[in-house]
With several copies, the nearest count.
Chain A
């Protein structure tokens, strides 16, 4: 029987090691799997490479890992905190204690999709002629200049869903969807934290956003540690 459900957060993050590359869902405060973030924190992992859109805020999000010095490198489009109360990323970055790969947001999600879709790279017009394309291969196709971008994959993806079933099918809530469906394609281990676990057949087959084949573990938000 296929059953992606795990009973505890410890089970949800079991086997993830220090040194792992982690795709972390969310845009701003929407869609960050806070329970999984805490579980990784409790597992005391170090030396992580984190691929995510934002650099942490005053919420218990990526900033928890940053405070505990768990992150070696951040691949990110917007590492600046908008709310000035959280400057942990800035502190580490300006002290040279964390590596940053800054990627335009659309290129970030497309690179993740590229990795998840088994492709080797793509040409995008975004960034051409800017500092963020510095040193990258370019190519003129149909008279327009493009920059070559390479796929991103990770050991693990941590995402948040609204509901999940035992097959791992996921649906999302509003703007909390953002990177999650793409991240779910691009990691060896995909773990989803769902507001709700539902019975098989409860999710409308036309409305499933992430089919279960992409998901390895689901844990209910608020499950025991």
Chain B
């Protein structure tokens, strides 16, 4: 079996974002999603620091350091974009106005709990930023993460061992091995990479999986 590259993970997630969606993309892997939106779809990107309808990074030399995204990288504004203060920006996030938030993750539980802000290690500076707010208000929360941690430990677990970001919020998980929906009664595998068995995927997962009735091959 061949796990998806990080680029292909972003490409796969991008495919599920419908035309006309208002979306917030977390820092890290979800950053790459805009590069892979299928042609013909108009997606409107929100940034927590008060921007709607962000465009790509400007050409080198044209960066404006008062025009940055949540990751503090220079971006541009598309026609029809707008600026607002952090108060309204987070009201938009909490208030159910975003169609989709795509976030990175350390762990997701079988009930959709998300841990993505701290490893709980007591040896550094804690920082949460907008992670908890983003995980709370969007109509759909998706997580984009490697299926297992660097040490091979499952990231999809019965119960998160890392500090929680939010409880019961994740709807869909895109990993380098599978696309998994979080249903009320557990985790449902919708797509799986070629030449990977459900049994093997289960071995790499810390919570029970069941195949969707129309389980498909995960291709990009």
Query: What is the size, in residues, of chain B's interface with A at 8 Å between Cβ atoms?
Result: 59
Give A186 to B45 CA distance when docked, in angstroms. Answer: 21
Give A107 to B66 CA distance when docked, in angstroms. Answer: 23
Contact of B80 with A by CB under 8 A: yes
Count the A-B residue pairs with Cβ separation under 8 angstroms: how many? Answer: 206
Contacts of A109 in B (CB 8 A): 85-87, 90
Chain A, Cβ-Cβ closest to B95: A118
A162-191 CB mask vs B (1 if < 8 Å, else 0) is: 000111010011111111111001100000
Contact of A60 with B by CB under 8 A: no
Tell which of A89, A174, A181, A208 touches B66, judged by Cβ atoms closer than 8 Å: A174
Instruction: Evaluate contact between B97 and A185: CB separation under 8 angstroms.
Output: yes
Query: What is the size, in residues, of chain A's interface with B at 8 Å between Cβ atoms?
Result: 70
Contact of A129 with B by CB under 8 A: yes
Give A203 to B78 CA distance when docked, in angstroms. Answer: 12
Tell which of A105, A129, A167 touches B90, judged by Cβ atoms closer than 8 Å: A105
B25-66 CB mask vs A (1 if < 8 Å, else 0) is: 000000000000000001010111111110000000000111
Instruction: Evaluate contact between A213 and B98: CB separation under 8 angstroms.
Output: yes
Tell which of A31, A107, A169, A181 touches B82, judged by Cβ atoms closer than 8 Å: A169
Instruction: Evaluate contact between B80 and A175: CB separation under 8 angstroms.
Output: no
Give A120 to B42 CA distance when docked, in angstroms. Answer: 33
Contact of B105 with A by CB under 8 A: no
Contact of B94 with A by CB under 8 A: yes
Name B residues whose Cβ lies closer than 8 Å to a Cβ of A: 19-20, 22, 42, 44, 46-53, 64-69, 71-72, 77, 79-88, 90-98, 118, 124-133, 136-137, 163-167
Enumerate 9 A-B pairs (CB-CB under 8 Å) in ascending A order: A104-B131, A117-B94, A119-B94, A131-B164, A173-B66, A175-B67, A203-B80, A212-B44, A213-B97
